[in-house]
Amino acid sequence: MKSLIIGGSGFVGSKLITELGKSNCLIFDKRPSAFFNEITTIGNVCDREALRFSSEISEVVLLAAEHRDDVSPTSLYYDVNVKGTRNVLDAMDEAGIKRLVFTSSVAIYGLNKENPDENHPQNPFNHYGKSKWQAEEVIKEWYEKDPTGKSVTIIRPTVIFGERNRGNVYNLLKQISSGKFMMVGNGQNKKSMAYVGNVVAFIKDRSTKSELGYHVFNYADKPDFNMLELVSQVEKEMNISLPKQKIPYWLGMIAGYAFDTMAWLLRKKFSISAVRVKKFCATTQFDATKVRSVFEPPYTLGDGLGKTLEYEFINPKKDDVLFYTE
């Protein structure tokens, strides 16, 4: 019996299949896999007719999502993340599959929350977070309709980083490692982060358990760094020294809105935007006590940062396999 990894051609999926073993997995994705194309079926979760699961599948790991913060039109978040989830669940019912691991997001809690745990009220501030929460509600309704024999794990990871990933953490590490980085805000805001090697190890741990029921976990590697501590860690790993001046938050937001205006006028995307400045200066700290009570990650947060910096900047590896996430 095999695990079907929906969205398995992406960053987390590629790492997960390496962890689980190619012979134990199948991929369903709208894009070919750079590493495992021989086990990949091309399709879209929005196409219900394309979701026909074979009898050798015992479990679904649903990673597929619209998650970048610049998706247009915004209806795509709901088409993929909500309707797509419903399509997957309908296909699972059709095939008699009762085991699901779903990657949601801590974005469902919103910004500047005080270390929310899994029971914290939901208050998403963007379409991604709203659509992920709606997807969770769809899954909960599916589970409660007939819980007999079902195993559901909802994982709410914070921002995931690692080798080959081109997301917000990579962009931040690139800026810091260039030596031209300047802090926006006072740098005291804490950032929960998750190294991809630990995330896939936890998914593997959950998918190999025979535990029934409905389970929800935040995922973050601890202890959290504030921005000053993160910069200091990178300075140490890279053996560099950065300017100590700070840009006031209000000035950073003005610059973000200016770039938003230019992006609209020029129909071009920029790496700086108001929402990215807001997210950079926000406290994004999440309680991961529950997951640490059942799982011991193989890497520390410092290990993950060190491995990523080594791969990307200290002794950079050059190939064409990169994953652009946000």
Identity (one letter) of the amino acid at 8?
G
Name 184's bridge partners. Answer: 247
What are the structure tokens assigned to 243, written together? 């300017």
DSSP element (H, E) containing 183:
strand 183-184
Q: Are 173 and 312 in contact (CB under 8 A)?
A: yes
Long-range contacts of 142-148 (CB under 8 A, 24+ apart): 142/89, 142/93, 143/214, 144/214, 147/213, 147/214
**Strand extents, DSSP E, 202-316:** 213-219, 221-226, 246-247
φ, ψ of residue 159 to 5 degrees: the values are: -60, 130
Q: Are 19 and 204 in contact (CB under 8 A)?
A: yes
Provide the 3-class DSSP secondary structure of residue 71.
Answer: coil
Identity (one letter) of the amino acid at 227?
M
DSSP element (H, E) containing 280:
helix 274-281
Q: Which of 109, 128, 170, 195 is catalytic?
A: 128
128 is an active site residue: yes
φ, ψ of residue 189 to 5 degrees: the values are: -70, 135
Residue numbers annotated as active site: 128
